[in-house]
Amino acid sequence: MQSYFKFEFLHFFFNKKNIAVYVILLFFSCYYAMVVAPSYDPIEKVDKLEMEARYLTREDFLNSVNTERMHPSTAYAVMTYPEWNEYEKGRLDALEEHDFKKYAEATSKWYTYSDGMIYKGGDFLFYHPRYYTYGNNYAREDGHFAYLSAASRYEGYAEGDYALSIDVFEERTALQTWQRLLQSYLPFILIVSCILLSADIVLKDRRNPTLLRGFPMSPWRRLLVKGGVALFGSILAFIPLAAGLLIIGARNGFGSLDLPVPIYSHVDKSFSLISLSEFMLQNMALIILWFVLIISLLLLTSILIRNEFANLFIGFAVVIGEFTYYTRGIGFIREVQWYPTSYIQVGQVISGYRNYVYESNALTLGNGATVLSACVCIILLTVFIISNLPKFKQL
């Protein structure tokens, strides 16, 4: 078994296609680090001018407003602006003094207060204007989530003992970039790489069938070894991606694994904090589970359909499966948590954002692990049964 593993392993890494996958990942990760990451422009950034403008206009307003016979909205403003501005002032002062801890504290309060005002405030108060891009019908919801998330995050910064910096606040450090990417397209890239790496793991043997048919090993165990090699190879895909991380780290710092990451809970509609390391571990666990699922699925299609294109098409169908049923709030009506494809955006599932947009409280790490493992079990069982059929021929 061990020697067969070694044999498959060598095959895997001398496969031109697999080398190309790693090279392309390396290219993308460097491209991202050099071109995309520097132009990252978060909406919730540390923008002194913006704060000042907001603060001064409101101060002006408060100083000049005629408090007799006010319009109700004016009265509302007169009521709310003083506290709002107090936090804003706190942020500005902290920045002036380079006291990041104090800044974090004030910012957290500012976000909590702002959200409280805006979310209930009806049609005349707004979140940061950049949420309201043309065509975004859910700007309010996006803003709400982002403000609460930021409030929770800054609260974490204020309470803990971290080496704070503007880069940390704007989530530009290497580890935080990684975390942000996990919540956007990194899971897709990893899973697609996994598909590409394992699409031919079984069918490549057709090129030299007589060589392999006689190996003293049952087809089932052989398939298992192949799956193992593919899994190992997929996990190694992290290495070329890490190159980009090093570049970002050298420029913006690496950040710390203890930094807080806000996690949304749809049940009590609020955020709690976990450490970045915990967030990463949970992500890795789910991504690796995805690898296992994809690989076992491809093993199954390999012995059922025996065509590499079918493998590719089916793999990609799983990746884009969620788009066919996803709409905001659909989780309220449909039990989306039982579809494995709902967990494809791994980082967003862990951070609770998927729960938020689905309006479901069941898309959790635990449920994801259960659903995906159940799928893996069913698929592997099918593979086991098929590969043990008396008529089964692997090639």
Partner 1 sequence: MLPFLRGVCMRNVLKTVLMIEKSNKKNIAACIIIAVFVFGLISFITTEEKGNLIKERTGDYQSVSSALYKFQIEDASENGDGSDLYKNLVRQQRVISTQRMAARVDRPALYLETSLELADLRDAAFKMDGFQDVALYLPTKTENQLQRVYYQELVNEGKSVSQNPLSFYQFLGYLFGIIGAGWFIFVSIYSCGILIEEFQHTSLIKGYPISFGKYVLAKCSSAMLMVGIFILLLFICSLPLIYFNGLGDSSYPVAVYSGSIEVFTTIKFIGVSVLYMLLIALFAILLSIILNMLLKNMYLTMFVQLLLYISPYLFPGMMAFVPWNPINYLNFSRIFNGETLDLATPAALYMSQGLITIGVCIVIMLFIIKAFFTAGKLKRV
Q: Are 176 and 165 in contact (CB under 8 A)?
A: no
- CA–CA distance, 122 with 126 (Å, rounded to integer): 9
Closest CA to 128 of 143, 108, 113, 148: 143
**Position 327 contacts partner 1 (CB under 8 A):** yes
Q: What are phi and psi of 134, to 5 degrees?
A: -60, 125
- Contact residue for partner 1 among 79, 163, 325, 370 (CB under 8 A): 325
**Pseudo-torsion of CA 178, 184, 186, 189, nearest 10°?**
-170
**Position 267 contacts partner 1 (CB under 8 A):** no
**Position 332 contacts partner 1 (CB under 8 A):** no
- Output the smallest distance, CB 330 to partner 1, in A: 7
Half-sphere exposure of 335 (CA within 13 A, CB side): 3
Annotate each residue in 95-134 with x if it binds partner 1 (CB under 8 A) or - if it does not, as one string: ----------------------------x--x--xxxxxx
- CA–CA distance, 176 with 184 (Å, rounded to integer): 13
How many chain residues are in contact with partner 1, going by CB under 8 A? 39
Pick 136 or 370: Cβ nearer partner 1: 136
Pick 94 or 199: Cβ nearer partner 1: 199
- Output the smallest distance, CB 303 to partner 1, in A: 13
Instruction: Concatenate the DSSP letters of all residues of 32-59 into one string.
Output: IIIIIGGG---SS---HHHHHHHHHHHH
- Output the smallest distance, CB 148 to partner 1, in A: 19
Q: Which stretch binds partner 1 (CB under 8 A): 101-109, 269-277, 321-329, 376-384?
A: 321-329
**Position 65 contacts partner 1 (CB under 8 A):** no
Q: What are the start-end ranges of the H helices in the chain?
A: 2-14, 16-31, 48-64, 72-97, 100-120, 139-159, 166-169, 174-182, 186-198, 209-213, 219-236, 238-252, 276-304, 308-320, 346-350, 353-358, 365-387
**Position 330 contacts partner 1 (CB under 8 A):** yes
Q: Are 246 and 226 in contact (CB under 8 A)?
A: no
Q: Are 318 and 341 in contact (CB under 8 A)?
A: yes
Q: Which two tokens stand for residue 394?
A: 């692997």
Cα distances from 142 to residues 113, 136, 148, 314, in angstroms, run 17, 9, 10, 33
List binders of partner 1 among 157-216 (CB under 8 A).
196, 200, 207
Pick 282 or 394: Cβ nearer partner 1: 394
Pick 18 or 173: Cβ nearer partner 1: 18
Pick 3 or 39: Cβ nearer partner 1: 39
- Output the smallest distance, CB 179 to partner 1, in A: 24
- Output the smallest distance, CB 314 to partner 1, in A: 8
**Position 34 contacts partner 1 (CB under 8 A):** no
**Position 47 contacts partner 1 (CB under 8 A):** no
Pick 27 or 384: Cβ nearer partner 1: 27
- Contact residue for partner 1 among 4, 5, 9, 24 (CB under 8 A): 24
**Position 147 contacts partner 1 (CB under 8 A):** no
Cα distances from 335 to residues 15, 77, 316, 344, 355, in angstroms, run 42, 43, 23, 16, 12
Pick 207 or 269: Cβ nearer partner 1: 207
Q: Which two tokens stand for residue 22?
A: 């790693």
Q: How many CB atoms lie within 10 A of CB 212?
A: 17
- CA–CA distance, 33 with 254 (Å, rounded to integer): 13
- Output the smallest distance, CB 29 to partner 1, in A: 13
**Position 305 contacts partner 1 (CB under 8 A):** yes
- CA–CA distance, 336 with 330 (Å, rounded to integer): 8
**Position 312 contacts partner 1 (CB under 8 A):** yes
**Position 89 contacts partner 1 (CB under 8 A):** no
Pick 257 or 304: Cβ nearer partner 1: 304
- Output the smallest distance, CB 353 to partner 1, in A: 20
Q: Are 218 and 1 in contact (CB under 8 A)?
A: no
**Position 140 contacts partner 1 (CB under 8 A):** yes
Binding residues for partner 1, rule: CB under 8 A, are 16-17, 20-21, 24, 31, 35, 57, 123, 126, 129-137, 139-140, 196, 200, 207, 305-310, 312-314, 317, 323-325, 327, 330
